[in-house]
Structure 1
Amino acid sequence: MKLEKQPLEKFLKDPAPHIAAVLIFGPDEGMVHERAGLISRAILGDGNDPFRLSELTGDDIKADPARLIDEARAIAMMGGRRVVRVTRVSDTHEGAFASLLADQKDGAQCLTVIEAGDIGGKSSLKRLFENASNAGAIACYRDEAAALPALITQHLKAAGLEIDRDAVAYLAANLGGDRGITRAELDKLVLYMGPMLQGGGKKVSLEDAMANVGDLAAIGQDDLCAAIGLGDLKGLERQIERNLAETNEISLIRSVARHFMRLHQVAGRVAGGEGLESAMTGLRPPVFWKAAEGFKNQCRRWNVESIGQALLRLTEIEAEAMRQHQFADTLTRRGLMEIAAMARR
């Protein structure tokens, strides 16, 4: 069965005893690993009792298919529910997991936690876990813009830090490609802020956030967005190669869309009679000072109408890439080139 929203939150804290195995999959590998860890700790606690935890890989199962069921049937020496964690699996392991679920139909003293990558919407392994009554399927997609501010605020609050609204907006715009990387960058920010002040926490300012999260892959995405906005086709070709090696296509398209929304905001103010400098000053988060001149040049190339056309095309590209997952790379490259060509016109 699918585990989403409230059932998911409950399951992460208290895995249901009738669930024999749970598949955690999706393009956000950091989130996949984080949720697998949460589920395991919910059963095992913070200790690493070797009699209650077994770890396998997809290669281990291929080499010895019977081992998966043997590990799931094993009983902990000191009692308690066991966990078997399996990593690096794909649709080729469907038969082994189908056998496991059939074997554990009447309940189990073990929960098998499986970590898979971006196996796709038509995955037979995904369907197996969604349709089985004693299994769970958890999708891990990259953090959406709407969810990121809460994640950022909660992570910093746990470290005793408050954060300015502008700083949250900046971090949300520059993080989110991978949950693990997001948390690592926030931990780096916590270290930068130093130990808590006596009697209360420090407050993260926009300047603090920009000083720490200015050298991520997001800067590479800024270079990509600038190449599109300026109609630099050769530069865009290089940036697409660099970014797609590190970033999911959908995440990249949405990053470009956010950039064009900022251009649209400035273009609307300029169309209303406001000066370009003044219109840019109102952006939150502000344009990074090193990129300000390039942003101005982009604003001079685009008007409200042409930006609207670009945003519409980006929506179409994203929909096409999600429908035809296997061609997402090609569709993204072609679509971004088309938008860059609009800047040249």
Structure 2
Amino acid sequence: MLLKGAEIARYLARPDPSRPGLLIYGQDAMRVALKRAEAVRALVGETADEEMRLTRMPGGGLKRDPAQLVDAVREVGFFPGPRVVVVEDTPDLATDAIRAALEGWRQGDAVVVVTAGALSKGSALRKLFETHGQAVTAPIYDDPPGEDEVARWLADAGLREVPREAMREMMLLSRALDPGDLRQTVEKIGLYKHGDPTPLTVEEIALLAPATIEADLDELIHAVADRREAEFGPLMRRVDQQGIAPVTLCIAALRHFRALHLAAADPAGPGVALARARPPVFGP
């Protein structure tokens, strides 16, 4: 089964333990690792490692010793509870070993969670999971997390009262930070607000957000041009915190609106106008 869109985040937050296998793959190793950790935690809990209910193995070794995966999946644990076998950095060469584990899987066996880098459409590993009747495929893209996912992270950190304005600020942060840094920021906010029942504020988020965020000046100008009033305040605060001079803002705005005017007024069409604009719109 191939998950798409919002299904991916929802499933990885609460994976089905009755399914034998889960493939998580993507270009960004950090995003894949975060999703793998989330899915494994949901399947076996926080104490699985110390209770020996979690087994890890490199996917690269399965070609040489395919039986180790089947043995780990069928192994009876010393401690009661669900079990997971994580196969990391898995190449296509490991497909046969994983197929054998999925085909012989029975209820009560460990769930097989496989991670991999970018996989092409012709990947044997992808084909195995996508065509399997019970296994699940979760491709991880480089898009920032959606609002539902950020809201779930906030709730997990104990933040239940998040007004609309604060959520807008969090979504802006999600576009400025990579997922790992964003998750750490959410956890930091949760610790800061521990025992405080008042709603989360924009000021508290700004106080705890990483000081090294590089607000995109172009994003601020685009927000102004598109009349996205709700985004202007938070973006302007970040630009101000970076010490960007007012004249720099004015020059950026002038260039942007001059390019728009040239594109709208050129009789040869906007594409021709933007192609010959100076400084270049599309890079050197």
Shift of 1:39: 3.5
Q: Write the distance in 1 (CA, Å) between the matches of 2:190 and 2:88.
A: 30
1:262 to 223, 226, 229: 223
TM-score (norm 1): 0.61
Is 2:189–2:205's contact at 8 Å kept on the other side of the alignment? yes
Tell me which residue corresponds to 2:24.
24
- Paired-residue identity, %: 20
Tell me which residue corresponds to 1:342.
281
Query: Runs of 4 or more off by more than 6 Å in structure 1?
Result: 279-282
2:232 to 263, 270, 283: 283
Is 2:73–2:112's contact at 8 Å kept on the other side of the alignment? yes
**What amino acid sits opposite 1:44 in the alignment?**
V
Matched, 1:299 2:253: yes
List aligned pairs for 1:178-217, cutoff 5 A: 178-191=178-191, 193=192, 195-197=194-196, 200-201=197-198, 203-205=200-202, 207-216=203-212
Matched, 1:54 2:7: no
Structure 2, gaps ≥5 residues long: 264-276
Q: Secondary structure at the match of 1:303?
A: helix
TM-score (norm 2): 0.72
**What amino acid sits opposite 2:225 in the alignment?**
H
Moved more, 38-47 or 176-185: 38-47
Is 1:24–1:114's contact at 8 Å kept on the other side of the alignment? yes
List aligned pairs for 1:56-135, cutoff 5 A: 56-77=57-78, 80-104=81-105, 109-135=109-135
Structure 1, gaps ≥5 residues long: 230-257, 267-278, 310-337
Q: Write the distance in 1 (CA, Å) between the matches of 2:86 and 2:51.
A: 12
Tell me which residue corresponds to 2:167.
168
Shift of 1:23: 0.5
Is 1:13–1:42's contact at 8 Å kept on the other side of the alignment? yes
Q: Secondary structure at the match of 1:187?
A: helix
Q: Write the distance in 1 (CA, Å) between the matches of 2:78 and 2:231.
A: 64
Q: Write the distance in 2 (CA, Å) between the matches of 1:51 and 1:280.
A: 52
List aligned pairs for 1:141-152, cutoff 5 A: 141-144=141-144, 147-148=146-147, 150-152=148-150
Q: Secondary structure at the match of 1:23?
A: strand
Number of equivalenced pairs: 262
Q: Write the distance in 2 (CA, Å) between the matches of 1:9 and 1:35.
A: 11
Q: Any idea what the Cα deviations from partners look like across 1:149-184, whole Å, max 9, x if unmatched?
A: x44444344424644544433332232454332110
How large is the RMSD of aligned CA atoms in angstroms? Answer: 3.9
Q: Secondary structure at the match of 1:297?
A: helix
Q: Write the distance in 1 (CA, Å) between the matches of 2:261 and 2:188.
A: 36
Q: Write the distance in 1 (CA, Å) between the matches of 2:235 and 2:8.
A: 39
Q: Write the distance in 1 (CA, Å) between the matches of 2:58 and 2:76.
A: 20
